[in-house]
Amino acid sequence: MISRLAYIYIFLPFVVLAQQKEVLHQEYFKNGELQHEWYTLNKHPIKYWKTFYLDSVNYYQRNYTSLGKITSEGWYTKNLKNGYTIEYYKDSCSSNGHYQNNLKEKTWRYYTHQHLDSVGDYHINTPTKNWFYYQNNQLVCEKRYMNNSQNYTVKNYRKNGTLEAEGTYINHQKNGYWKFYSKLQVLKTSGNFKNGLKEGYWHFYSDEGKVLEQGDFKENKKTKWWSFFNKDGTLSHKCELKENLLHGYCIYYSNNKIVKGRYYKKGVKTKEWKDWSSFRKDYNKLND
């Protein structure tokens, strides 16, 4: 009994190796030219399956993993992708479009579970012109590429299709003038970015389109003088800020007239004037 088991264990690796042997298959036209060439492993296709055509330099090729799962299929010329191609990815994702000498060209489409994710053009393997991005068949983003794939203008949309924001990316970072909108398509915020950070003068608006506050940013932090307004659009107060903290004077208004003042240091109030006359005297002295 022991000797029989030993024989089985010794023989088993050879059986497994024999089962895992890949096989090259070839079929020919009547004139002797190659028509099909493919590999199999355990009766499953692996590597590739090429189909050739008479009097043509182009051939169709399907590519497979070692487990027999297709990864791509399309037209080739001299081992280079040339023409319409379909590519398959994990999680039911796929794409289709054209290659020219192994580089993506013209319009490409990307899908997840057969739902369109994005569509746009390539030139020499680089995104160009307009690209559109979708979620659940709803447009969520529109990009227009400029001189390369790192620089583009963008429009972002909400799920209901309304415009949420628009601006420019340089080197994949927000740069230049941007606008942000409410759900009712009212301008809510506007200003400039520099390397992805708020920089320069910004405006913030109410749902009715009236200015709520405005002032300067430096590297994404409020600085210098900021103005704050009431809901009816009248000036409420002006304050000096430094790195998002009140730092300096705050001047308060009623009916566009100064009524009192305060002084802050690193966000902490250090002095307060209850009326305009006393504030004016100290303010003038401190700023002579």
Residue 216, Cβ density class (10 Å: 0-12 exposed, 13-18 middle, ≥19 buried): middle
Share the mean pLDDT of the chain.
91
Question: Taking a C-beta distance cutoff of 8 angstroms, is the pair 152, 144 a contact?
Answer: yes
For residue range 14-26, what is the model confidence (pLDDT) as tens digits?
A: 444 445 789 999 9
What pLDDT, on the 0 to 100 scale, is given for residue 287? 56
For the segment 69-101, what is each residue's pLDDT rounded down to a tens digit?
Answer: 999 999 999 999 999 999 999 878 999 999 999
Q: Kind and range of the H or E element at 147? A: none
pLDDT in tens, 185-223: 999 999 999 999 999 999 999 988 899 999 999 999 999
Residue 6: what pLDDT?
A: 44
Name every residue whose Cβ is closer than 8 Å to that of residue 26 and which is 6 or more positions away in sequence.
34, 36, 37
pTM over 0.85: no
What is the reported pLDDT for 277? 83
pLDDT digit string (tens) for 214-258? Answer: 999 999 999 999 999 998 889 999 999 999 999 999 999 999 899
Quick one: average pLDDT of 154-160?
A: 95
What's the pLDDT at 97? Answer: 98
Pairing of strands 126-135, 115-123: antiparallel
Averaged pLDDT, 106-110: 98
